């Protein structure tokens, strides 16, 4: 029911949705409510303390037999699965409910809910898969659903360009992932997670690096890591509820989930792990700087998502149990506070009659108190304010970086400081967004006078997500992510000799004298300092006259750097010049070569053949047939002449014979005489 409810709901909406009063929205909401109820039951039934409960269950069936080999499909329920199921169903249910108010009156209201259901179904199927084949199938279904939802307002040029850009960019990453899957099947003979982990010794040493990077390439496409991050900010052209779902619980979460699920394989290559960390760190810092230059509230949140995903990949690039937990823990907490932020921005846009420019807002807290409070809580969480969910997960990421894994520890220490600076920037630009939107004096009186709070169908979800932005930091690590025996990939195959301990640094996080505890103290101090500085700097810049002058002076002093960030470091232009334009040039060159050279050769060959055929026809008609006709005419003429001597009289024939004999005798005598 958990998996099938969304797709059944989507099919029903497609059949009867337009005939119903509410456009079939109640079907989609009920379907996601069913999935949510099932996920909650699994969550409550999941055990710890060495008893995996639902977490240890696995079902499979044989769906195809080729050459005596069985292809099995099934689902696995472990701690990671249950965590993601809760995230997807909670956020998706709230998004469905929020969309009932936000999308009201849309011309394609029914279609929107239908594709929303398919989107959720694909993510649930991806999470439940016990093998890379079905995971990849759901991975691609998600790409289709995102294409349709991002391009929902297809009549806008920016929207249909954005959906094409998202679809094509993620396909680039999928090429690397597909090649990695082919290599895994070639080496291990299976795409089942357990079989792959149990047969990692069959993969040559050098292949580990390329397989790991191939999987990361697919993950980087879906989860918007440099340089494949360019599609995600443009995806804001879709409806705001879609942005919340993409950025929090589905598409961008899929890439992080893939790396977390295949960690037992990827961690075999320390070099690949370090590359993942470096790219994640670079993405986190770069996206944070760009977020400072955006005035569109959704654009700020979009680059915030890119940055936070960089935090997750940076953690997952450290080969330790602590880092694995930290990256996936941040995925969970980020889903709740980022969904709250996006839906909060949707509430603002709805209340301000589709205005998205923060510089025209201000003073909305009194007009939209519920939206303002929930948005503030989510801002505190993403900034890492103490006792919020984001505080715990971000602190764990910094702790994992400082602890290292015994390989490239110095590099991870450098990354620690870079990521701490990115965390400072996160706190600053997020509070910039809050202050510009909700605090201070109204900068546009007309907007302020007509602003209003959103209906309960929208604010109820905001309150729920704001609550989870605090509460999710307490239960999730202990219940789901600390139970390594049930959660950490690879332990299922321990009996086959492929335990995580063999190639991942395992820290005892409860040892007061251990490395992890010392790293936690350092991370706690660093995260508290950068969070406080970030919030204080934002308040100084945007709430005081002195701060505003100082901010403008800084902007002028660093105008060139600001210009680079404002133009998104020209990555889109570089991609346009080096990839798109080069591809178009090669396509045009290929078309010219095809039309002028290949078609010219074919046309020339055809013309020569025609002319040769014409000459052959002339020769056949005039020479061959002429000779035949001449021979026939000669035979006919000769026959006519001879026919004149055929009178049918015997005496004439005898006279002719005697005359011929006499003539012959005379001729012979003449020859003999000479």
* Structure confidence by residue, pLDDT tens digits, 347-379: 888 888 878 888 888 888 888 899 999 999 999
pLDDT of 492 = 45
| Rounded distance between C-alpha atoms, residue 500 and residue 482, angstroms | 14
Q: Cα(568)–Cα(170) distance, rounded to whole angstroms? A: 19
pLDDT score for 647:
64
Tell me the pLDDT tens digit for each residue of 121-132.
999 999 998 889
The DSSP 8-state label assigned to residue 414 in this structure reads H
Is pLDDT at 663 greater than 70 in this prediction? Answer: yes
Determine the Cα angle at 287 with ends 286 and 291, to 5°: 120
pLDDT in tens, 241-283: 888 888 777 788 889 999 988 888 888 888 889 999 999 999 9
What pLDDT band is residue 463 in, cutting at 50, 70 and 90? very high
Q: Tell whether the model's pLDDT for residue 50 goes beyond 70.
A: no
pLDDT of 48 reads: 47
Cβ contacts of 140-145, under 8 Å, gap ≥ 24: 140/174, 142/222, 142/250, 142/251, 142/254, 143/167, 143/170, 143/171, 143/174, 144/118, 145/115, 145/118, 145/119
Q: Kindly indicate the confidence band of residue 166, based on its pLDDT and cuts at 50, 70 and 90.
A: confident
Which has more pLDDT, 636 or 422?
A: 422
User: Per residue, what are the HEC states of 539-606?
Assistant: HHHHHCHHHHHHHHHHHHHCHHHHHHHHCHHHHHHHHHHHHHHHHHHHHHHHHHHHHHHHHHHHHHHH
User: In angstroms, rounded to a whole number, what is the distance separating the alpha carbons of residues 162 and 159?
Assistant: 5
Residue 28 tokens, joined: 């989609």
pLDDT of residue 62: 67
The CA distance from 508 to 322, in Å, is 9
The reported pLDDT for the residue numbered 501 is: 38
More confident residue, 448 or 479: 448
Least confidently predicted of 375-389, 525-539, 604-618: 604-618
Percent of the chain with pLDDT over 90: 25
- Greater pLDDT, 645 or 580: 580
pLDDT above 70 covers a percentage of the chain that reads 90
Question: What percent of the residues of the chain are helix, what percent strand, and what percent coil, each to the nearest 5?
Answer: 80, 5, 20
Least confident of 422-431, 473-482, 622-631: 473-482
Q: How confident is the model at residue 68 (pLDDT cuts 50, 70, 90)?
A: low
Q: Smallest Cα–Cα separation from 472: which of 329, 293, 275?
A: 329
* Confidence at 579, pLDDT banded by 50, 70, 90: confident
Q: What distance in Å separates the CA atoms of residue 220 and residue 252, rounded to the nearest whole number?
A: 9
Q: pLDDT per residue over 209-237, tens digit each?
A: 899 999 999 999 988 898 888 888 888 88
Q: Which residue has the higher pLDDT, 120 or 353?
A: 120
pLDDT, mean of residues 623-628: 83
Average pLDDT over residues 308-329: 90
Per-residue pLDDT, 480: 56
Cis peptide bond upstream of 227, omega within 30: yes
Does residue 497 have a pLDDT over 70? no
Nearest to 481 by CA among 573, 592, 389: 389
Query: With bands split at pLDDT 50, 70 and 90, how would you rate the model's confidence at 79?
Result: confident
Q: Which long-range contacts (CB under 8 A, 24 or more apart) does 391-394 make?
A: 391/473, 391/527, 391/531, 392/329, 392/333, 392/473, 392/474, 392/477, 393/326, 393/329, 393/330, 393/332, 393/333, 393/334, 393/473, 394/311, 394/330, 394/423, 394/527
Q: Closest Cα partner for 312 from 326, 301, 291, 300?
A: 326
Q: Across the chain, what does the average pLDDT equal? A: 84
- In the predicted structure, residue 479 carries a pLDDT above the cut 70: no
* pLDDT (average), residues 520-524: 88
Of 209-223, 422-436, 473-487, least confident by mean pLDDT is 473-487
pLDDT of residue 192: 85
- The residue among 207, 204, 185, 206 whose CA lies nearest residue 196 is 185
Choose the weakest-confidence range: 50-54, 64-68, 303-307, 639-643.
Answer: 50-54
Tell me, what's the pLDDT at 420? 94
Nearest CA-CA partner of 119 in 4, 20, 285, 250: 250
pLDDT at 2: 86
CA atoms within 13 A of residue 552's CA, in its CB half-sphere: 5
- Give residue 49's pLDDT: 45
CA distance 351 to 347: 6
From residue 50, alpha-carbon distances to 53, 55, 193, 482, 487 in Å are: 9, 11, 22, 11, 11
Query: At residue 14, does pLDDT exceed 90?
Result: no
Residue 422, pLDDT above cutoff 90: yes
Task: Please tell me the predicted confidence (pLDDT) of residue 378.
Answer: 93
pLDDT in tens, 381-396: 999 999 899 999 999 9
Q: Quick one: average pLDDT of 51-77?
A: 63
Q: What is the pLDDT of residue 486?
A: 42
As a whole number of angstroms, the distance between CA 365 and CA 227 comes to 37
At CB < 8 A and 24+ separation, what contacts does 596-604 make?
A: none
Length of the chain: 674
């Amino acid at each position: 029911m958990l998996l099938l409810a969304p797709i059944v709901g989507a099919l029903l909406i497609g059949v009867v949705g337009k005939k119903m009063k509410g456009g079939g929205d109640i079907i989609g909401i009920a379907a996601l409510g069913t999935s949510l109820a099932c996920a909650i039951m699994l969550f409550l039934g999941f055990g710890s303390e060495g008893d995996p409960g639902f977490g240890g269950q696995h079902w499979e069936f044989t769906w195809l037999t080729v050459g005596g080999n069985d292809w099995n499909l099934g689902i696995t329920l472990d701690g990671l699965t249950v965590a993601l199921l809760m995230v997807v169903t909670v956020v998706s249910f709230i998004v469905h409910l929020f969309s009932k108010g936000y999308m009201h009156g849309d011309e394609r209201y029914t279609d929107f809910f239908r594709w929303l259901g398919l989107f959720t179904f694909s993510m649930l199927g991806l999470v439940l898969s016990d093998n890379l084949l079905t995971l990849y199938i759901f991975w691609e279904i998600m790409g289709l659903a995102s294409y349709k939802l991002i391009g929902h307002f297809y009549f806008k040029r920016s929207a249909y360009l954005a959906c094409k850009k998202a679809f094509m960019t993620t396909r680039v990453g999928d090429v690397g992932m597909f090649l990695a899957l082919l290599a895994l099947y070639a080496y291990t003979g299976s795409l089942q997670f357990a079989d792959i982990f149990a047969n990692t010794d069959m993969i040559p040493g050098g292949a580990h690096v390329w397989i790991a990077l191939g999987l990361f390439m697919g993950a980087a496409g879906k989860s918007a890591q440099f340089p494949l991050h360019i599609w995600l900010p443009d995806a804001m052209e879709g409806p705001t509820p879609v942005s919340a779902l993409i950025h929090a619980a589905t598409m961008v979460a899929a890439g992080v989930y893939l790396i977390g699920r295949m960690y037992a394989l990827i961690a075999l290559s320390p070099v690949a792990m370090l590359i993942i960390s470096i790219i994640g760190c670079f993405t986190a810092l770069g996206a944070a700087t760009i977020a400072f230059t955006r005035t569109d509230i959704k654009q700020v949140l979009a680059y915030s998502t890119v940055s936070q995903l960089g935090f997750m990949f940076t953690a997952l690039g450290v080969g330790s149990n602590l880092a694995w937990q930290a990256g996936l823990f941040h995925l969970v907490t980020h889903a709740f506070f980022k969904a709250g932020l996006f839906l909060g921005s949707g509430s603002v846009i709805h209340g301000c009659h589709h205005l998205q420019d923060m510089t025209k807002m201000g003073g909305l807290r009194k007009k939209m108190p519920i939206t303002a409070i929930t948005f503030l809580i989510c801002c505190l969480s993403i900034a890492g304010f103490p006792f919020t969910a984001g505080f715990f997960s971000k602190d764990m990421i910094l702790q994992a970086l400082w602890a290292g894994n015994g390989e490239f520890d110095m590099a991870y220490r450098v990354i620690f400081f870079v990521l701490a600076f990115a965390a400072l920037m996160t706190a600053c630009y997020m509070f910039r967004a809050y202050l510009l939107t909700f605090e201070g004096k109204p900068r546009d009186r007309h907007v302020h006078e007509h602003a209003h709070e959103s209906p309960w169908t929208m604010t109820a979800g905001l309150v729920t997500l704001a609550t989870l932005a605090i509460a999710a930091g307490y239960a999730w690590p202990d219940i789901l992510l600390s139970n390594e025996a049930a959660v950490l990939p690879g332990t299922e195959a321990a009996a086959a000799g492929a335990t995580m301990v063999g190639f991942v640094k395992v820290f005892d996080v409860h040892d007061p004298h251990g490395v992890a505890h010392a790293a936690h103290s350092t991370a706690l101090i660093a995260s508290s300092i950068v969070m406080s500085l970030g919030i204080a700097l934002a308040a100084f810049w945007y709430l005081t006259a002195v701060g505003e002058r100082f901010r403008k002076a800084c902007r002028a002093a660093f105008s060139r750097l600001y210009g680079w960030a404002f133009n998104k470091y020209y990555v889109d232009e570089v991609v346009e010049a080096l990839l798109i334009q080069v591809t178009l040039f090669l396509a045009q060159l290929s078309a010219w070569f095809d039309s002028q050279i290949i078609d010219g050769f074919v046309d020339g060959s055809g013309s020569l053949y025609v002319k040769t055929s014409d000459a052959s026809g002339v020769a056949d008609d005039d020479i061959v047939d002429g000779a035949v006709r001449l021979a026939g005419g000669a035979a006919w003429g000769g026959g006519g002449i001879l026919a004149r001597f055929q009178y049918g009289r015997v005496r004439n024939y005898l006279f002719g014979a005697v005359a011929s004999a006499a003539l012959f005798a005379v001729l012979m005598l003449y020859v003999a005489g000479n």
